[in-house]
Amino acid sequence: MLRSHAQLLRAAAALALCLATASCAAPGNNEQAEGSVAPQPEIEEIEEPLALSVDALDIRHGTLRIEATMDDGSADVSMWLGEGCETREVGHGIATRSGFAWSLSRDEIARAIECSLTVKVHGIDDEGQHVRRVAQLPVSVAVQPDGADLVRLRGQESDGATTKLTFMAPAFASRLHVAGTIIGAESDDVELDGKLPKGAFLSAFVVDNDDLARSMLARSHLTLLGEDFLATVTVGSVTLDISEPQPEALPEPEPIAPSEDEPRQYYYGDGCDDCGDG
């Protein structure tokens, strides 16, 4: 009898210890639900080309705004860096089935100059099939004179994250000012395609695309030997107009003819001793 009582005490102690540990607790409803949920299959998409055209480029609030129209598009639009760059979504904006307006920051413009852009649109076709339509947008940078008379741009070539600019001037130029940054001339001999005029000198500068993008967004000059140039960008087939925006003229108010029933008012100025109605 004592022996069986001791066994009962040991069994009760083991049961109490088991209930006190989490390992012996029964699985909760959440754990059972998680174990019973089957993994969702990935949605298969058919990739098709996207018919897209850039309509306008503009500078808005320190960003480059791209306006474009699409055929068979969708409001589910995203923009990515092109081949050669990291896989990264860029910009932000609004979209409809027929077009979008997208804004890029300075860093995103600089990367796009190096790798261009890819536009992706997700939707469902008439047969209910999930479709991903893709379009490539080439991006390039250019430098244009802004009242420069003596200095000429002889060449420009983008290579990776930089762009090489070659100028011809009546004197050798050792410094190029770009958006507050001073860039020194290349010390190597500058290659020339053609004969150099007498009394002319060539100067080449390697400029970061980030500096060109900052200059473009601020509409600030690239200055060489006191003469000015402006950076611009081309997306698709449209080039940004970097001229200063003209202020909108306010419409002149239309004159209002007085009613015949209203008396005419006359103003004689301050200090008039004989003022009255006519």
pLDDT (tens digit per residue) in 231-277: 999 999 999 998 866 554 555 555 555 556 655 554 444 555 555 55
Nearest to 80 by CA among 91, 70, 71, 72: 91
Q: Alpha-carbon distance 97 to 125, whole Å?
A: 12
% of the chain with per-residue pLDDT over 90: 58
Q: Answer yes or no: are the C-beta atoms of 114 and 160 closer than 8 Å.
A: yes
pLDDT at 278: 46
| Mean confidence (pLDDT) of the chain | 82
What is the model's pLDDT at position 16? 58
Strand partners, 239: 234
Structural contact between residues 129 and 135, judged by C-beta atoms closer than 8 angstroms: no
DSSP state of 170: S
pTM, entire model: 0.71
DSSP E strands in 200-263: the ranges are 201-208, 222-224, 227-235, 238-239
What pLDDT, in 10s, does the model give residues 90-127? 999 999 999 999 999 999 999 999 999 999 999 888 88
Q: State the number of CA atoms in the 13 A half-sphere of 47 facing the CB.
A: 4
Whether 27 shows a pLDDT value over 90: the answer reads no
Q: 138 near 176, Cβ under 8 Å?
A: no
The least confident of 3-17, 131-145, 195-209 is 3-17
| pLDDT, tens digit (0-9, with 9 covering 90-100), for 163-183 | 999 999 999 999 999 988 899
Could you identify the residue written with the tokens 């503009």?
Answer: 58
Q: For the chain, which domains are there?
A: 46-137 (2.60.40.10), 140-238 (2.40.30)
As given in the structure block, the two tokens for residue 38 are 């089957």
Specify whether the CB–CB gap between 143 and 222 falls below 8 A.
Answer: yes
Examine the pLDDT at 55 and tell me if it is beyond 90. Answer: yes
CA nearest 121: which of 99, 91, 88, 90?
99
- Biggest CA pair distance of the chain: 134
**Gap between the Cα atoms of 132 and 130, Å rounded:** 7
CB-CB contact of 124 with 116 (8 Å): no
